[in-house]
Structure 1
Amino acid sequence: MQTMTTVATEFNYSELARQIAARMSPEALLSAEDVGAMLGYPARYIRETIALAPGFPVAIRLRLNDDGKRSNPRWRRTDVEEWVTTHLAQRRARSGRPRNQTVM
């Protein structure tokens, strides 16, 4: 029988906790990776499809330096959460095709 060995690795739990707390703030600016994790999609799908959908919050792009290069898109957590709530409400409100009712 094989025995399992564990390799001790250094892990900074304080830094992880800080990063999680920062992303949970209502005014946090989320990356495409963060939004993807919230919605269950890859970051590329967020950037190329979801972010271009009508009604999705406009991305915030900050200037990085004097040459005008801009950062990757970011979205406010509250804006994304609002969009999700609205999007779900619209989906529920849509009527589907009528179903046959069985009368007994």
Structure 2
Amino acid sequence: MTTTASDLNYAELARQIAARMSPEALLSAEDVGAMLGYPARYIRETIALAPGLPIAIRLQLDADGKRSNPRWRRTDIEEWVTTHRKKRPTRAGRPRQQTLM
């Protein structure tokens, strides 16, 4: 199914973008995946289980105790990315051979 420009609700699209850009926004696995460049499934099955990633927030949906899909605060994910980048080790191994011209 192809979406045309006349089918788009630009006000709703703008609202959704603004809501996700808020520092306190709760991001889904799809949103976190878009930030990090990974599919949502990889976020849920691998990254979410990695040590150090902020614990997901799961809101209770009904009285039976059913909970929502995991959500993460935008600020927590951005902080995790920043600290994770700082801890990245330098490459080990033999230095590259220099060629003489």
Could you say which TM-score interval applies, normalised by the shorter chain? 0.7 to 0.9
Partner residue of 2:7? Answer: 10
Q: CA RMSD in A?
A: 1.8
Pick the aligned partner of 1:75 from 72, 77, 80.
72
Check if 1:22 corresponds to 2:9.
Answer: no
Output the TM-score relative to the length of structure 1: 0.84
Pick the aligned partner of 2:82 from 71, 81, 85.
85
Unaligned 5+ segments in structure 1 are 1-6
Q: Specify the SS of the correspondent of 2:87.
A: helix
Q: Specify the SS of the correspondent of 1:88.
A: helix
> Moved runs in structure 1, 4+ residues, more than 6 A?
none
Inter-partner Cα distance in structure 2 for 1:96 and 1:21: 42
Aligned amino acid, residue 78 of structure 1: T
Output the TM-score relative to the length of structure 2: 0.86
Unaligned 5+ segments in structure 2 are none
Partner residue of 2:34? Answer: 37
Q: Specify the SS of the correspondent of 2:86.
A: helix
